[in-house]
Amino acid sequence: MKNILFMFLIISLILIAGCSKTEFFQNFTEAVDSENDTVFEIVIPSGASSDKIADILLDNELITNKLVFKETAKEMGADTKFQAGTYHLMQSMDMNTIIDIISKGKTYEEILTITIPEGFELNQIVKRIEDLGIATEDQIMDVLKNDQFSYKFLEYVNRDFYLEGFLFPDTYIIKEDATAHEVIDKMLNRFDSIFKDDYYLKMDEMNMTMNEIITLASIIEREAKLDSERAIISSVFHNRLDINMKLQSCATIQYALGERKEILTYNDLEIQSDYNTYKYYGLPPAPIASPGEKSIVAALYPDDTEYLFFVTTEKNDGSHYFSKTYEEQIDNKNKK
């Protein structure tokens, strides 16, 4: 009777929300706060039911919906497998990850977490892996350059650039005794799951290589602050590439400099580097950071515009002015 009432309530909520069950659940199974890696030490007592565990997680703001937690755990076949113990959980973990950890008894002594934010460069990712004590920088770089991984997209990737851009940004749960190869494999596996078959078709349709798409996506990732502007910024770069106009991306200069200077000097723009898009035409030789899926989608599906320029607005909210001509660009700069 309790299960029938439970499902009736779920169905009622879905009907009210006007969406499918999958869409409804997705709203509540995402991480509470993808940016918050604060560790919560959670104790699951012996014999605790899924209802009790849901209460504990809800009280600690690790999930947002008790009913969805219970139904998701049931669908995963985990609702009868929860194990007692002390767990280290974070708000940056999605509901499925939390369920997996508790149902498999992955107590804090046995797992580590590593979070790679969108826009992280390779050297930052390597530093995070090294800080976990898994391997040294040299060992990690050797894995990136030489280890074999079985993913379709790697057929298109030049390993001389140590997989820059292809280590997908996300929060990963790993074993304490994991090797550098296993950690890198998790990140590549995530990229593989994100880069859908449709993306390969679109890439071919655009007559662009995997390296070019991810390189462009990485520039978009570093230039765009607002999701609503990613496809517009993408259109600017596509338009410039189409007419053989230099990209002139400050993000590529910052990458070449090895530091993210807020204000670039004229001397900075003269740096001798293949990544200097103020000096050289076309895309740089490889990605400059790890782009998230939104930037990859923007690179593949740019807005249809005639814009060739953009500059930040005076609002200091990450927004930009876009323009078709250099004269308009100057006018927009003078608004600041």
Instruction: Please write the tens of the pLDDT for every residue from 93-109.
Output: 999 999 999 999 988 77
308 pLDDT tier (thresholds 50, 70, 90): very high
Distance between CA 102 and CA 39 in Å, rounded? 15
Every domain of the chain with CATH number 3.30.1490.480 lies at 30-109
* Res. 40: pLDDT tops 70: yes
25 pLDDT tier (thresholds 50, 70, 90): low
Q: Which long-range contacts link 177-186 to residues 24+ away (Cβ below 8 Å)?
A: 178/112, 178/134, 179/134, 179/135, 180/129, 180/134, 180/135, 180/139, 180/140, 180/143, 181/143, 181/147, 183/114, 183/129, 183/134, 184/140, 184/143, 184/144, 184/147, 184/149, 185/149
- In the block, tokens 């979070």 appear at 115
More confident site: 263 or 50 = 50
Least confident segment among 24-38, 203-217, 286-300: 24-38
Distance between CA 210 and CA 119 in Å, rounded? 18
Distance between CA 173 and CA 28 in Å, rounded? 20
Token output for 313: 């607005």
Token output for 275: 């990544």
Which tens digit of pLDDT belongs to each residue from 228-238? Answer: 999 999 999 99
* Res. 18: pLDDT tops 90: no
Distances (CA, A) of 128 to 37, 106, 123, 132, 172: 14, 21, 9, 7, 12
Distance between CA 315 and CA 55 in Å, rounded? 42
Distance between CA 181 and CA 50 in Å, rounded? 35
315 pLDDT tier (thresholds 50, 70, 90): confident
Which tens digit of pLDDT belongs to each residue from 210-227? Answer: 999 999 999 999 999 999
pLDDT at 62: 96
Which tens digit of pLDDT belongs to each residue from 135-144? Answer: 999 999 999 9
CB atoms inside a 10 Å sphere around CB 272: 7
Q: What is the mean pLDDT of residues 170-180?
A: 88
CB atoms inside a 10 Å sphere around CB 275: 21
Distance between CA 99 and CA 31 in Å, rounded? 12
**Non-local CB neighbours of 109 within 8 Å, separated by 6+ positions:** 176
Instruction: Return phi, psi of residue 143, to 5°.
Output: -60, -45
pLDDT more than 90, % of the chain = 76
CATH number of 30-109: 3.30.1490.480
pLDDT at 10: 55
Distance between CA 170 and CA 168 in Å, rounded? 6
Tell me the pLDDT of the chain averaged across its residues: 90
pLDDT at 21: 52
* Res. 151: pLDDT tops 60: yes
Distance between CA 108 and CA 98 in Å, rounded? 12
22 pLDDT tier (thresholds 50, 70, 90): low
More confident site: 112 or 283 = 283
Which tens digit of pLDDT belongs to each residue from 52-86? Answer: 999 999 999 999 999 999 999 999 999 999 999 99
pLDDT at 108: 77
pLDDT at 261: 80
* Res. 5: pLDDT tops 60: no
Question: By C-alpha distance, which of 275, 271, 302, 269 is closest to 287?
Answer: 275
pLDDT more than 70, % of the chain = 92
Which tens digit of pLDDT belongs to each residue from 249-290? Answer: 999 999 999 888 888 888 989 999 999 999 999 999 999 999
Cα separation of the two ends of the chain: 64
pLDDT at 334: 86
pLDDT at 106: 87
